[in-house]
């Protein structure tokens, strides 16, 4: 028998050429997942229920580097390879089988243990999109296999657990607590998720009675309203607009530290970057509304109905982007909707003009294509078939393929039936053609009077100042439109300030936050006549405006630096501490201000490079330390650690900064002295890159 098992395992790759879904339906995976944060590992006990569709002698679960014990009370055999668990035996068509087994794994990715080895807040969270859940949970990487997951999680009892489905029980077991979650409907494995941390939550009910739970760390209690603003309105809008009730039991949202992306639409449990936590002042520049709407839309488009393969990925991302934009139109208005379409049209046109356009049905297309070109395709489709037919087609499509996987042709078929329209030309122009249909898009945009006015204002860029002064002045008449005001300021930035002083004064006096912000961003050398106006920006309800104004004023009016420091003393800014870190940096290079505090200020700035802080804070601190060309030994060590960070943007930033410092004799000597003193995994990049 043992020889037979290994023969089967040797031949397993042959079986993988045909999708297992044609032979086996994995129906349910349940059990207990014991999370061991000190060891960064998982100890699980699972029960797998499956139905055999065609006779077979082997069935697999995807499981990366897991170790297993044998099956409990079973005539079948269980064996593990590098990336799979194999159930071996004589499986008969039409029969249902249940298997129980234990497994252990130390995930190389997908499950992240954040804060446990430093002084940061302790969290555990997962990010399984793609084919990655199998790194911590034996499951099926194929998105076409829909499974009901009913899982319990055992964690130290000081922490909360948020996972897919409805929480049905909590019970204490020694120093741990077991949280049991129940899913009623099946989903693809990449949507399985869990988050663990020191959390509290606020709750409200939607018009249809669904519970919305807004999680937060206790220190951010005062930011809950601003962070989750419009959540209920967006949810209620989607149920009405899509025409199908929310297809799951409840909905939870959880901010996590050092998250890989903006957000992830795990079924019933969206995780998102804590960089979107905000207060009222931060809301105008960096709010959660778009990500909130996008991930919620995925609960229908992606979770309820899933694309069969990467070729059809736009059915998820294009739809989520489009419906999020519709929701934002409800919140922010028609001008916002058309401006966002205009912005993305410009990006897509630029890509297309450079010969780098991509077809929507290109499996290797970029995010810009899947998300923004996909949204544009749906906008055009809706205009072409009419709103009523569009809604009818989308609703029928979702209902017909509920809890299944689908391709583009299936969607288009339902749209053709609903609209009684041949969509072959739409398919050719918007799904197969790599070039962006710029002329058709422009014609659509011009249905908005706002866009026509904006384009006319932008056309003034080609004119001399004297030929457009009157139009620019008219655009600054009260009440000033956000987008018109910004455009005027962008054009003023191309002129000598003294020649457009009156227009700058008018823009400052507009009381329009975004118009005033545009001045802070674009005006480099502020004339003394505008000193008081620029100083007034320090009072604006915008952390971005305050940051840019502080930098501008510090550079241009050295005699007033003390007043500026005092004005923003103690202000943190966004979650990345943009204002505080800039304030600390400017403090260090301002010899006359608080001379006796320099050492403490440097110590505080250097502290923010530590792994105890979110990567965005660390990147800000490292960037400013580089600008003033001074690093503490700990910051050098933190930079080494960052070269292996899970967030690729920060990892890439640290590697580039390390490469730059390595070219400098002073910094290289300091770095060389540390290479053999720091943990080997922190030094791995440097040793390989510099042949050490």
SS3 171: strand
Please tell me the distance from the alpha carbon of residue 181 to that of residue 161, in angstroms, as a whole number: 10
Place 18 in a pLDDT band, splitting at 50, 70 and 90: low
Report the phi/psi class of residue 133: left, alpha or beta, with left for phi > 0 and alpha for psi in -120 to 50. Answer: alpha
The average confidence (pLDDT) of the chain is 96
Mean pLDDT over 207-235 rounds to 98
Report the phi/psi class of residue 92: left, alpha or beta, with left for phi > 0 and alpha for psi in -120 to 50. Answer: beta
| Omega within 30 of 0 (cis) for the link into 127 | no
**CA 435 from centre of chain:** 27
Q: Cβ neighbours of residue 596 under 8 Å, at least 6 residues apart?
A: none
Q: What is the pLDDT of residue 132?
A: 96
Q: What is the pLDDT of residue 70?
A: 87
pLDDT tens-place string over residues 581-611? 999 999 999 999 999 999 999 999 999 999 9
pLDDT at 10 over 50: no
pLDDT tens-place string over residues 365-382? 999 999 999 999 999 999
273: nearest Cα among 614, 609, 610: 614
Quick count: other Cβ atoms within 10 Å of Cβ 63?
Answer: 25
Please tell me the distance from the alpha carbon of residue 161 to that of residue 157, in angstroms, as a whole number: 10
pLDDT tens-place string over residues 31-73? 999 999 999 999 999 999 999 999 999 999 999 999 998 899 8
Mean pLDDT over 668-673 rounds to 97
Query: Helices (DSSP H) in 333-362: which residue ranges?
Result: 334-353
Quick count: other Cβ atoms within 10 Å of Cβ 74?
Answer: 15
Q: What is the pLDDT of residue 161?
A: 98
Mean pLDDT over 223-247 rounds to 98
Beta bridge partners of 156: 176
Q: Which helix (H) or strand (E) holds 205?
A: strand 200-205
pLDDT tens-place string over residues 544-553? 999 999 999 9
Longest CA pairwise span in the chain (Å):
92
Q: What is the pLDDT of residue 69?
A: 86
Mean pLDDT over 146-168 rounds to 98
Please tell me the distance from the alpha carbon of residue 280 to that of residue 569, in angstroms, as a whole number: 19
Tokens of 608: 């923010």
Q: What is the pLDDT of residue 645?
A: 98
CA distances from 110 to 130, 385, 467 (A): 10, 42, 58
The mean-pLDDT minimum among 128-132, 322-326, 444-448, 666-670 falls in: 128-132
CA distances from 284 to 226, 454, 512, 513, 514 (A): 10, 21, 12, 9, 9
SS3 387: helix
Question: What is the value of pTM for the model shown?
Answer: 0.96
258: nearest Cα among 130, 123, 159, 132: 123
pLDDT at 11 over 80: no
pLDDT tens-place string over residues 171-198? 999 999 999 999 999 999 999 999 999 9
pLDDT at 630 over 80: yes
| DSSP letter for each residue of 646-669 | SSHHHHHHHHHHHHHHHTSHHHHH
Quick count: other Cβ atoms within 10 Å of Cβ 34?
Answer: 17
Strands 41-52, 24-36: pairing is antiparallel
Please tell me the distance from the alpha carbon of residue 234 to that of residue 334, in angstroms, as a whole number: 16
Place 8 in a pLDDT band, splitting at 50, 70 and 90: very low
CA distances from 607 to 112, 600, 617, 681 (A): 23, 10, 10, 21
Tokens of 672: 């060389």
Please tell me the distance from the alpha carbon of residue 507 to that of residue 522, in angstroms, as a whole number: 13
pLDDT at 15 over 50: no
Place 14 in a pLDDT band, splitting at 50, 70 and 90: very low
pLDDT at 390 over 90: yes
Please tell me the distance from the alpha carbon of residue 488 to that of residue 512, in angstroms, as a whole number: 12
Q: Return the DSSP state at 25.
A: E
Please tell me the distance from the alpha carbon of residue 663 to that of residue 626, in angstroms, as a whole number: 13
CA angle 611, 617, 618 (to 5 degrees): 45
Strands 123-126, 111-114: pairing is antiparallel
Mean pLDDT over 650-675 rounds to 97
CA angle 161, 167, 170 (to 5 degrees): 70
Please tell me the distance from the alpha carbon of residue 426 to that of residue 377, in angstroms, as a whole number: 8
Round to the nearest angstrom and report the end-to-end CA distance of the chain: 51
pLDDT at 632 over 60: yes
Beta bridge partners of 196: 124, 161
């Amino acid at each position: 028998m043992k020889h037979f098992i290994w023969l089967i395992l040797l031949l397993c790759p042959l079986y993988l050429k045909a999708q297992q879904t044609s032979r086996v339906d994995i129906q349910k995976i349940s059990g207990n997942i014991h999370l061991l944060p000190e060891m960064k590992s998982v100890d699980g006990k699972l029960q797998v229920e499956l139905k055999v569709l065609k006779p077979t002698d082997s069935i697999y679960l995807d499981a990366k580097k897991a170790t297993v014990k044998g099956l409990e009370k079973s005539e079948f055999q269980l064996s593990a390879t590098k990336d799979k668990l194999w159930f071996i035996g004589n499986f008969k068509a039409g029969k249902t089988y249940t298997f129980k087994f234990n497994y252990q794994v130390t995930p190389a990715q997908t499950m992240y243990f954040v804060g446990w080895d430093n002084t940061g807040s302790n969290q555990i969270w997962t990010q399984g999109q793609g084919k990655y859940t199998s790194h911590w949970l034996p499951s099926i990487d194929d998105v076409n296999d829909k499974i009901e997951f009913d899982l319990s999680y055992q964690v130290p009892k000081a922490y909360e657990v948020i996972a897919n489905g409805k929480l049905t029980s909590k019970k204490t077991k020694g120093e741990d607590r077991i949280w049991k979650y129940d899913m009623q409907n099946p989903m693809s494995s990449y949507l399985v998720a869990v988050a663990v941390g020191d959390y509290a939550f606020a709750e409200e009910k939607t018009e249809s009675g669904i519970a919305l739970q807004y999680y937060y760390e206790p220190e951010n209690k005062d930011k809950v309203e601003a962070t989750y603003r419009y959540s209920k309105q967006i949810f209620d809008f989607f149920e009405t607009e899509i025409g199908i009730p929310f297809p799951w039991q409840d909905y939870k949202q959880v901010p996590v530290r050092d998250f890989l992306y903006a957000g992830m639409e795990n079924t019933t449990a969206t995780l998102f970057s804590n960089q979107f936590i905000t207060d009222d002042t931060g809301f105008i520049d960096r709010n959660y509304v778009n990500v909130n709407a996008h991930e919620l839309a995925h609960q229908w488009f992606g979770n309820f109905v899933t694309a069969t393969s990467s070729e059809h990925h736009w059915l998820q991302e294009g739809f989520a982007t489009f419906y999020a934009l519709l929701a934002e139109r409800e919140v922010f208005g028609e001008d916002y909707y058309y401006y966002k379409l205009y912005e993305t049209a410009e990006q897509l046109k630029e890509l297309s003009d450079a010969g780098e356009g991509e077809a929507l049905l290109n499996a290797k297309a970029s995010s810009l294509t899947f998300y923004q070109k996909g949204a544009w395709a749906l906008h055009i489709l809706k205009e072409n078939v009419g709103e009523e037919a569009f809604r009818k087609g989308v609703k029928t499509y979702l209902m017909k393929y509920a809890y299944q996987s689908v391709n583009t042709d299936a969607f288009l078929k339902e749209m053709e039936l609903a609209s009684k329209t041949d969509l072959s030309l739409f398919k050719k122009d918007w799904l197969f053609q790599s070039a962006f249909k710029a002329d058709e898009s422009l014609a659509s945009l011009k249905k908005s009077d706002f866009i026509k006015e904006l384009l006319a204002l932008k056309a003034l860029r080609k004119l001399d100042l004297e030929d457009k002064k009157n139009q620019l002045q008219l655009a600054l008449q009260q009440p000033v439109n956000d987008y018109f005001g910004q455009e005027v300021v962008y054009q003023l930035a191309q002129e000598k300030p003294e020649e457009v002083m009156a227009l700058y004064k008018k823009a400052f006096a507009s009381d329009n936050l975004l118009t005033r912000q545009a001045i802070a961003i674009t005006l480099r050398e502020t004339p003394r006549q505008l000193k008081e106006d620029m100083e007034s920006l320090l009072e604006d309800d915008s952390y971005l405006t305050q940051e840019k104004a502080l930098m501008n004023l510090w550079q241009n009016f050295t005699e007033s630096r003390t007043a500026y420091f005092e004005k923003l003393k103690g202000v943190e800014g966004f979650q990345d501490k943009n204002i505080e870190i800039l304030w600390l940096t400017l403090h260090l290079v301002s010899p006359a201000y608080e001379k006796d505090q320099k050492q403490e200020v440097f110590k505080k700035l250097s502290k923010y490079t530590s792994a105890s802080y979110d990567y965005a804070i660390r990147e800000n601190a490292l960037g400013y330390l580089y600008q003033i060309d001074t690093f503490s030994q700990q910051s050098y060590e933190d930079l080494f650690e960052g070269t292996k960070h899970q967030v690729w943007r920060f990892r890439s930033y640290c590697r580039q900064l390390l490469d730059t410092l390595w070219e400098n004799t002073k910094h290289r000597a300091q770095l060389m002295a540390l290479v053999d003193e720091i943990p080997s995994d922190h030094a791995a990049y440097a040793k390989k890159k510099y042949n050490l």
